[in-house]
Amino acid sequence: MMNNIFEKSKFVFDILELNGFECYAVGGCVRDMLLGIAPHDIDFTTNATPDEILSCFKDYNTFELGKKFGTISVLHEDIIYEITTYRIDGQYLDGRHPDGVTFSRNLRDDLSRRDFTINAMAMDKSGTVVDLFSGKSDLRNKLIRTVGKPQDRFTEDALRIFRALRFSAKLGFDIETCTAEACHKLSHLLKKVHPQRMQDELSGLMMSPNPAHILSEYKDVIGVIIPELLQTFDFAQNTPHHRYDVYTHIINSLFYSPVDLVIRLALLFHDIAKPLCHTVDKCNLSHFKGHPIKSAEISAEILKRFGYPKDIVNRVYLLIKYHDVRFEKPRKHIKKLLAELGVEDFRRLMFIQRCDILAQSEYRRNDKIELIDNIENLFDEILVENPCLKITDLDINGKDIMSLGASGKLVGDTLSYLLDMVISEKLENNKEILITAAKAYLDLH
């Protein structure tokens, strides 16, 4: 149960206790240690006030950023330890933060304000656990249960609804019946939560061992969090290639995916625009022309709203844009995509196409998978060739182009043209050949 970071943190216990105060590790770190998982950090709770904490750690580097809420941070050997005074939260008038806190000398007061029983346990330096709300029992029974009434906890901060889903997916626990009912009943409260506050929960859910179960069981909640997905619910795909509605297909594709945030976000949104692009032919078969680019655009809007970094937004956008690409001229198409995506994301694209196919009907499934296998084999062969994929790989540079009389933007345009010709295998990456082609291009421009 003990681990290195817990042992390193014992100076916090020692200093507070030597000064006559109580001290406990608290929250997620206790939960993780009881599960045999090494915690990333240790949070502490104490009956010492913030000023008393500062006095106890006067010989250490301390930070007072969270002092208003009772938290003092202590820096020791490049590790920051957060120490928070026992507290009672005021009213959550904004559905997010208490309007104030009252410091307490009673550990029960502090534990009773926490979200779930498995996060409401404290541990002293000897490893003895204080468990006032049956957290250990819920850990054994693999249950997510609120501390007190679910309606109270979720009304205080609706983000806790999403946290319940994320913990369930991450730990493989069931959500206790009353807590689950409240998740569904109060899901509308999530509309008041800023999407950027939900980014960590969405990422945590998508990186869990089995996000598909939660996305299916709590799709009404997911529809509040990401309303663009609502249109995919129960939207039938009348085509031999599909046996499930759009949302069920999306969920099923996640069953086959590696634990990779970019891949899983791309799969979550890869068909989100299908209802918008739906047409029916004279044989009453469904078609979804243009859905990859439209889905990519919608995914970018969603991810920006959640505050994801530009790199992730762009990667997911491109993977969705090309998720349905057909390699009619394999070598040329592979090299073009490789130039745009890079090696890592081309491999991701292959994973996405494979997951997409496995979540479809069995119609021509083996043929489709065989095609993916062949593309991956050809991709590996191309990599061995060390192909020219960017301007700096060309056997010619800007100075060579300028020596032909070009200047300004025309230099870059010429190099881009030559790169495209080399990638398309219409030109060999040979300086003499490229000079000749550059002259011909410049004559026309």
One domain, residues 350 and 236:
yes
Measured distance CA(231)–CA(407) in Å, rounded: 51
Residue 27's domain spans which residues?
4-134
pLDDT of 89 higher than 90:
no
Q: Report which of 297, 324, 325 is spatially closest to residue 313, judged by C-alpha positions.
A: 297
One domain, residues 53 and 70:
yes
Residue 343 tokens, joined: 């090696």
One domain, residues 130 and 149:
no
Measured distance CA(254)–CA(352) in Å, rounded: 9
**Domain CATH for 74:** 3.30.460.10
pLDDT of 2 higher than 70:
no
One domain, residues 257 and 122:
no
One domain, residues 125 and 157:
no
In total, how many domains does the chain have? 4
One domain, residues 255 and 381:
yes
Final residue of a structural domain among 203, 225, 247 = 225
Residue 29 CA: distances (Å) to CA of 39, 99, 130, 322: 5, 27, 13, 41
> What mean pLDDT comes out for the span 397-415?
96
**Domain CATH for 193:** 1.10.110.30
Which pLDDT belongs to residue 93? Answer: 62
- Tell me the per-residue pLDDT of 262-310, one tens digit each, with 9 for 90 and over: 999 999 999 999 999 999 999 999 999 999 999 999 999 999 999 999 9
One domain, residues 221 and 286:
no
> What mean pLDDT comes out for the span 22-36?
97
pLDDT of 251 higher than 50:
yes
- Tell me the per-residue pLDDT of 119-167, one tens digit each, with 9 for 90 and over: 999 999 999 999 999 999 999 999 999 999 999 999 999 999 999 999 9
One domain, residues 35 and 117:
yes
One domain, residues 382 and 399:
no
**Domain CATH for 339:** 1.10.3210
Final residue of a structural domain among 111, 134, 157 = 134
Q: How many residues appear in the chain?
A: 445
pLDDT of 179 higher than 80:
yes
CB of 39 closer than 8 Å to CB of 7: no
Which pLDDT belongs to residue 98? Answer: 72
**What percentage of the chain exceeds 90 in pLDDT?**
95
What's CA 125's distance to the chain center, in Å? Answer: 34
Residue 272 tokens, joined: 């989100």
CB of 306 closer than 8 Å to CB of 195: yes
> What mean pLDDT comes out for the span 67-96?
88
3-state secondary structure of 259: coil
One domain, residues 244 and 327:
yes
Band the pLDDT of 4: cuts 50, 70, 90.
confident
CB of 253 closer than 8 Å to CB of 376: no
- Tell me the per-residue pLDDT of 353-366, one tens digit each, with 9 for 90 and over: 999 999 999 999 99
Residue environment code for 34-58, b if the CB has 16+ CB neighbours within 10 A, otherwise e: beeeebeebbbbbbbbbebbbebbe
Q: Name the burial class of residue 334, with classes exposed (0-12), middle (13-18) and buried (19+) by CB atoms within 10 angstroms of its CB.
A: buried
Which pLDDT belongs to residue 94? Answer: 61
Which pLDDT belongs to residue 1? Answer: 47
User: Residues with Cβ < 8 Å from 282, sequence gap 6 or more?
Assistant: none
One domain, residues 221 and 231:
no
> What mean pLDDT comes out for the span 399-404?
96
Which comes out higher in pLDDT, residue 208 or 328? 208
Measured distance CA(106)–CA(130) in Å, rounded: 13
> What mean pLDDT comes out for the span 184-206?
97
Band the pLDDT of 5: cuts 50, 70, 90.
confident
Look up the pTM and report it: 0.92
Average pLDDT, the chain: 96
Tell me the Cα Rg of the chain: 28
One domain, residues 270 and 361:
yes
